[in-house]
Chain A
């Protein structure tokens, strides 16, 4: 498997608290992605990055922000978590952002907002 590490793997927190999820890669891939996975919805793109300090929104970006200060790290922040953000979050990487490149996924973070 590609060298992708997500942390934490599990988190339970309360509504209104800030939450930051981390994705770390050792592959030096340019593109990084954050998805959320919910029953009946498959994988939905939250934000992605095409380089250091270069990010763009996906289809479900409301309530989320991201930062990429180094090639290897991509952070996803929920400024004020809500119960609707309870989900499994996956980070993915690819060599290129052109959508014909395979994506490699991390093991996921299971986040519960009470």
Chain B
């Protein structure tokens, strides 16, 4: 079945450093969504990418969807302590469900 892998599992950075998490699907996706979960909280929708090669920005966050629509990345420029949390990608495919990646836990040291 469809699988979505995410790396790294954990990343520790100093405040001000950049951060990137990568998402790879075993099958072509119709779209990719990104969610953020703060410690002790629930996943919160950040953004959706639909088009091949699409790039979207939200302030310091840059999201990319690969040309083959099988991979995606989230890049945070100049991390802040408020960026702490787990970032999940979720791929939409042929089935009527989203398949979530395993998530990347970001720790930011002040």
Measured CB to CB, the residues of A under 8 A from B are 35, 40-45, 48, 50, 56, 58-59, 90, 97-100, 102-108
Provide the bound-state CA to CA distance between A50 and B96, in Å. Answer: 10
Instruction: Decide yes or no: A105 and B88 within 8 Å by CB, A42-B101, A44-B100, A99-B97 being known contacts.
Output: no
| B31 in the interface (beta carbon within 8 A) | yes
Nearest residue (CB) in A for B44 is: A105
**Majority SS of interface residues in chain A?**
loop
| Residue of A35, A50, A98, A102 with most partner-chain B CB within 10 A | A102
Residue pair B43, A100 in contact (C-beta under 8 Å): no
Residue pair B45, A103 in contact (C-beta under 8 Å): yes
Residue pair B42, A108 in contact (C-beta under 8 Å): yes
Residue pair A97, B96 in contact (C-beta under 8 Å): yes
Residue pair A42, B100 in contact (C-beta under 8 Å): yes
Provide the bound-state CA to CA distance between A41 and B31, in Å. Answer: 21
Tell me which residues across on chain B come within 8 A of A41, comparing CB atoms. 102
Measured CB to CB, the residues of B under 8 A from A are 1, 6, 9, 30-31, 33, 41-45, 48, 50, 88, 90, 92-93, 95-98, 100-103
Provide the bound-state CA to CA distance between A27 and B30, in Å. Answer: 26
Distance in Å: Cβ of B5 to nearest Cβ of chain A: 10
Instruction: Decide yes or no: A106 and B42 within 8 Å by CB, A99-B92, A100-B30 being known contacts.
Output: yes
Distance in Å: Cβ of A46 to nearest Cβ of chain B: 11
Besides A42-B103, A102-B48, A103-B43, 11 more A-B contacts (Cβ < 8 Å) are: A40-B9, A42-B88, A42-B102, A45-B98, A50-B96, A58-B97, A59-B1, A100-B92, A102-B45, A103-B90, A106-B42
